[in-house]
Chains A and B, each alone.
Chain A
Amino acid sequence: MTALRRHRALTRIWASEPGWKGWFTTVNHTDLGRMFLTVAIFFFIVGGILAMLIRAQLASPRSAFIGPEHYNQIFTMHGTIMMFLFAIPLFEGLAVYLLPKMLGTRDLAFPRLTAYGFWCYVFGGSMMIFALLAGIAPDSGWFMYPPLSSTIGAPGINSDFWLIGITFVEISAISAAVEITVTILRYRAAGMRLSKMPIFAWYALVTAVMILTGFPPLILGSILLELERAFGMPFFQVADGGDALLWQHLFWLFGHPEVYIIFLPAAGAISTILPVMAGTRLMGYGWIVAAAVSLGVLSFGLWVHHMFTTGIPHMGLAFFSAASTLVAVPTAVQIFAWIGTLRQGRPTTRLPMLWLLAFFATFVIGGLTGVMVAIVPFDWQAHDTYFIVAHLHYVLIGGFVFPMLAALYYWMPHFAGRTTYFKLGPTAFWLIVPGFHGTFLLLHWAGLLGMRRRIDTYDAGQGWELINLIASVSSFVMAIGFALVLIDVVVNVTVAVRGARDPWKAGTLEWAMPTPPTAYNFASIPEVTSREPLYDAPDLPVQIARGEGYLGDCTRARRETLSVDVATGEPRYITVFPGNTALPVLMSAVTGLFFLGMLIKAYWLIPLSALGVIACALVWVWSLGRKESEGLLPAGRGMSLLTAAEVSDPPGWWGSIFLLLANGTFFGSLLFGYAFLWTIAPNWPPPAYVEAGSWILLPIFGGATLSLAGARLKSIGGTVLTVTGLAALAFSCTFLISRAPDPTAHAYDATLWVLMGYALLHHLVALLMMALLVARMLAGHPAATTSGALRIVRLWSDYAVAVTLVTTAAAMLPGMLT
């Protein structure tokens, strides 16, 4: 087969549907990556317009341009959009587009999940845009502190848009994180050891795991606050045993890792681009990996530094102050390794490098002011002033937007397959960078002069007028620069001339394919032995196109790629991907109805849409695997492998592991919240703890034993045991709820309902999975009896058992202690 005929055959198999229909049915990561990036940039424009309104309002004292009601919505939505609808999705889009190409594989681990996450993002984001246009957007600040954001301070629907819309959008973050993690661990070129991965993959791996452990506290907080607002369950109301500080802990448990979730992908782009711009290889690969991992770990230990002024004891503050300054160390390791790389190479000022220099100049200042506010007494003065506003924009724009602009110009030839048409790029650069510093540098000083953040206007005569005028004018200069970048991108994508492959002479695998990329990425999956394969084997692209790698033979006419060993990258099995389908967009629309029902309090919609989601999920899973067993199949280069449907650790098992990691973090946060209320909240203990006779231990322990044992028997009898066990556990939880009939009475009762509801939800999930398994067994589906499917179901039923044991113990413990 010639390279061209192989290209045509593979394109027939992998291509999305033509025209607009393709947008809704595509599951291809290149398409979805581009769609993610486009939508994220759309939200950047919306957030940017809001920023322009803010600066227009603050340009002069006592401005009558916008009143406080609208101003409060504008700054809340500016922060919310930039954080949740721009920064995180931009990373997801970049990772979705790039990772399979850099890793040498053909798609992400769960293509339909990519599409589902994307559509959840679009629908959730649309809710927020609707609220903004209708003038009923959230207005309590982007970190939504109750009681201000709860029914006391915000009786309207505004806060509900935030809590429900953002939680809906977070589905996309969690699903992207699960599949980025599984893709990096199991879907790489043959022989690519973890230590030979492109550095960007390491950063993406750390970021994805951080999303899995950082977002659940926020999702939990949002659910609790929405329950308080909708049903009066008093989690954050001090009079009924709640505590407003619980929200701050949950929010910043997410919020600080979030900063590094945003910074690390940018650092990954820098570590990829900078060595290429300097014509050398990255200095200190191992050190940088270690620095990224330790940043990830450390960032979970310093959330309290956003709460230095809430009255926490000084020695407690000292610990978090130390942890906060300590994150400067791994950051410094990376910065100096990059400077060392520049030193060892021969850097040239091409446009991506220019943006990296802007990154250095800006981010170093942001990092240094970050160390300043980590020092507690200084923070007592600077907190909630424009000093903080300036600091966070230096970190986020310097540490994320500028590197992403470098990434944009670096990978644009790849996205579009054209030589970049650099006419507007440098002009935009010279508008944006001075414009940025003109906007924010002096605002540090305004903050120290006492200018609080979030005021809608100010009086003359406080020494801030000139600073604010300069800031506003500069911000419009910066905005013009961004508009030029946008025009530049459009010009490049549409009218520039076709370019050569690999214009920067980079060494990573994404440049080993024709550009713009084909739907299948690699005509055959290469064997890789070094970090920069194209430097060590310059004719690799030709070998790939000739089909000399794995799975170059496409006679099976379906989407196949290679799954490899986690550590060594040895080929392990063949994954067969699903084709184009509208199921993801349908399922996310039905999921949207669920959230919509919550939002407009049309509660009849909730059970209906839940059933709809379950139906979609069953159809989704049912289509996996084949009716007949295939055994070993030739995979190329003389190797024979099984398909994923017939192995014991299929992608679904790995996906479940990481989904359960996020789920377990959610559960852990719930227990943390419970313990926090129990020990710290002022109005405890509640009027009464739940009490149950000791007979309740029988269904709990009996059910747990039956369920655990049944899940280990490979027969219908085993399934019956597990189902019986889970039913007993569900009964115990329902009984405990009935002993605390009023969830609005006290935060304890409310928490009990949530704990039990969480356990019941997991019983339901496990039961549904088992029902599906049995149905497939009865239908004679071979995949149902392979150990892979059984192991997945066992994971979830075991998790349900563990959750029930912990929740019932937690519910009854205070009653037993008193």
Chain B
Amino acid sequence: MHPAGSAAKVIATLWWVLLGGATAIFLFVAGLIAWAWYGPSGERDERGFVIGLGLVFPLIVLAALLTYGLVVGERLLPRAGPDVVRVQAEARQWAWRFGYDDAPERETENVLHIPAGRPVDVAITTADVIHAFWVPRLAGKLDAVPGRVNVLRIEADTPGRYEGLGSEFNGPGYRDHRFSVIAHDAASWDRFLQGDAP
């Protein structure tokens, strides 16, 4: 919940909106029950309760919410752009191997290097069972499925080190199935691509 990338930020905002809305609805329902309990009995208002509150109210709330979710989801999709960097992530029990389109000979183990401030597409796959790639502060997660390559868009706003996690249960080594993401500024990214040790 400390977003450091655009995708994570958008999702964090989404969360605060959801939390606010959910709290409001919960308080409303609780108040309604209290009113039903202590108010004068005998009143019969089937239309108000069932149609008004049961049908119309959730339909309006849900329609608004779905639209919001869809718009956010579309913004997070990996779209082509001039400065998109592409990297590969291959998971196995219990490690990660990363490759770089811009430097095909480079390969790193359990550390992913990316440039800061540029969108990065991570092509995710697996060598054995199902895993998931997740850097909580940068973006949501995406699964590594045998025989498939899934692409996740991540972006780090500032240079630094971010924790990454395998987040699909994958056996006894699951707890320590982690990796790091190092976001470089432009100069250090160039040095990395040219083969300097990070």
In the complex the two chains form, is B145's CB within 8 Å of A153's CB?
Answer: no
| Contacts A381-B136, A452-B167; A243 near B147 (Cβ below 8 A) | yes
Please tell me if A283 contacts chain B, counting CB pairs below 8 Å: yes
Q: Inside 8 A of B143's CB, which chain A residues have their CB?
A: 309-311
A454 CB-CB contact with B under 8 Å: yes
Residues 62 to 118 of chain B near chain A (Cβ within 8 Å): 62, 65-66, 68-70, 72-74, 76-77, 93
The verdict on A283 contacting B46 (CB below 8 Å), with A238-B146, A380-B11 known, is: yes
Residues in A neighbouring B142, C-beta threshold 8 A: 309, 311, 380
| A345: Cβ under 8 A from any B Cβ | yes
Q: Which of A120-128, A314-322, A607-615 contacts B (4 or more CB under 8 A)?
A: A314-322
Instruction: Please tell me if the beta carbons of B18 and A283 are within 8 angstroms of each other in the complex.
Output: no
Contacts of B169 in A (CB 8 A): 140-141, 145, 148, 384, 453-454
Given the interface pairs A152-B129, A332-B53, A455-B175, the reply to whether A311 lies near B148 with Cβ below 8 Å is yes
A357 to B30 Cα, complex, angstroms: 10
* A53 close to chain B: CB less than 8 A: no
Which of A3-11, A173-181, A359-367 lies at the interface? A359-367
Residues of A within 8 A of B57 (CB): 332
Q: Is B157 an interface residue (CB 8 A)?
A: no
Complex Cα spacing A448 to B8, Å: 11
A334 to B43, Cβ gap below 8 A?
no
**With an 8 A cutoff between CB atoms, is A336 at the interface?**
yes
B197 to chain A, nearest CB (A): 27
A735 to chain B: closest CB distance in Å? 32
Q: Are B54 and A360 in contact (CB under 8 A)?
A: no
Is the CB of B132 closer than 8 A to any CB of chain A? Answer: yes
In the assembled complex, A17 has its CB within 8 A of some CB on chain B = no
Pick from A68, A146, A318: contact of B172, CB under 8 Å: A68
Q: Which of B41-66 contact A (CB under 8 A)?
A: 41-46, 48-50, 53-55, 57-59, 62, 65-66
Given contacts A333-B50, A335-B54, A448-B15, contact A457 B175 (CB under 8 A): yes
B147–A682 CB distance below 8 A: yes
Asked, given contacts A310-B145, A329-B62, A377-B140, whether A365 binds B49 with beta carbons under 8 Å apart, the answer is no
A339: chain B residues within 8 A (beta carbon): 29, 32-33, 36, 49, 53
Is B130 among interface residues, defined by CB-CB distance under 8 A?
A: yes
Does the CB pair A365–B26 fall under 8 Å? yes
Residues on the B chain within 8 Å of A371, using CB: 18, 22, 62, 65
Q: Chain A interface mostly helix, strand, loop or mixed?
A: helix
Residues of A within 8 A of B195 (CB): none
Chain B residues, CB < 8 A from A333: 50, 54-55
Q: Which residues of A contact B58 (CB under 8 A)?
A: 328-329, 332
Per-residue contact bits, chain B 21-37, to A (CB 8 Å; 1 contact, 0 not): 01001100110110111
Query: CB distance B141 to A381 under 8 Å?
Result: yes
Closest Cβ neighbor of B146 among chain A residues = A238
Q: What are the interface flags for B165-195 relative to A under an 8 Å C-beta threshold, 1 for contact and 0 otherwise?
A: 1011111111100000000000000000000
Is the CB–CB distance between A384 and B141 below 8 Å?
A: yes
Q: Which residues of B are found within 8 Å of A452, using beta-carbon distances? A: 165, 167, 174
A146-175 interface code vs B (CB 8 A; 1 in, 0 out): 111000110000000000000000000000
Q: A384-B167, A454-B174 are in contact. Are A377 and B49 (CB under 8 A)?
A: no
Contact check, A450 vs B139: say whether CB atoms are below 8 A apart: no
Question: Is A377 touching B128 in the complex (CB atoms < 8 A)?
Answer: no
Within 8 A of B (CB), among A364-390: 364-365, 368-369, 371-372, 375-381, 383-385
B158 contacts partner chain A, Cβ-Cβ < 8 Å: no
Q: Which of A243, A334, A455 is the most central at the interface, judged by chain B CB atoms within 10 Å of its CB?
A: A455
Residue on A nearest B139 in the bound complex, by CB: A380
Tell me if B33 and A244 are in contact (CB < 8 A). no
Q: How far is the CA of A291 from the CA of B58 in the complex (A)?
A: 14
Could you tell me if A317 and B73 are in contact, using CB atoms closer than 8 angstroms? yes
A601 at interface, CB cutoff 8 A: no
Q: How far is the CB of B43 from chain A (nearest CB, A)?
A: 6
Residue A524 interfacial (CB < 8 Å): no
Question: When the two chains form their complex, are residues B32 and A314 in contact, meaning their CB atoms are under 8 A apart?
Answer: no
A325-351 residues at the B interface, CB under 8 angstroms: 325-326, 328-329, 332-337, 339-340, 342-347
Q: Contact between B53 and A336 (Cβ–Cβ < 8 Å)? A: yes
B170 nearest CB neighbor, chain A only: A148
Q: A147–B145 Cα gap in the complex (Å)?
A: 10
Q: How long is the Cα–Cα vector from A351 to B150 in the complex, in angstroms?
A: 52
Determine whether the beta carbon of B54 is less than 8 Å from that of A283: no
Which residues from chain B contact A375 at a C-beta distance below 8 Å?
A: 14, 18, 65-66, 68-69, 72
CA of A152 to CA of B129, assembled, Å:
8
Q: How far is the CA of A385 from the CA of B53 in the complex (A)?
A: 32
A339 to B41, CA, bound (A): 12
Nearest-CB distance from B118 to chain A (Å)? 21
Nearest 4 pairs of A and B residues by beta carbon: A380-B140, A340-B49, A238-B147, A311-B150
A sample of 8 cross-chain residue pairs with beta-carbon separation below 8 angstroms, ordered by A number, consists of A244-B130, A283-B44, A311-B150, A317-B73, A325-B66, A332-B55, A335-B54, A681-B147
Residues of A within 8 A of B (CB): 68-69, 72, 140-141, 145-148, 152-153, 237-239, 243-245, 283-284, 287, 291, 309-311, 314, 317-318, 321-322, 325-326, 328-329, 332-337, 339-340, 342-347, 357, 360-361, 364-365, 368-369, 371-372, 375-381, 383-385, 448-450, 452-458, 681-683
Interface residues in chain B, defined as those with a beta carbon under 8 Å from any beta carbon in chain A: 1, 8, 10-11, 14-15, 18, 22, 25-26, 29-30, 32-33, 35-37, 39, 41-46, 48-50, 53-55, 57-59, 62, 65-66, 68-70, 72-74, 76-77, 93, 128-130, 132, 136, 139-143, 145-148, 150, 163, 165, 167-175
15 further contact pairs, Cβ within 8 A, besides A452-B167, A455-B175: A68-B174, A145-B169, A152-B128, A153-B129, A239-B147, A244-B145, A284-B49, A284-B50, A311-B142, A314-B77, A325-B65, A342-B37, A365-B26, A369-B22, A371-B18
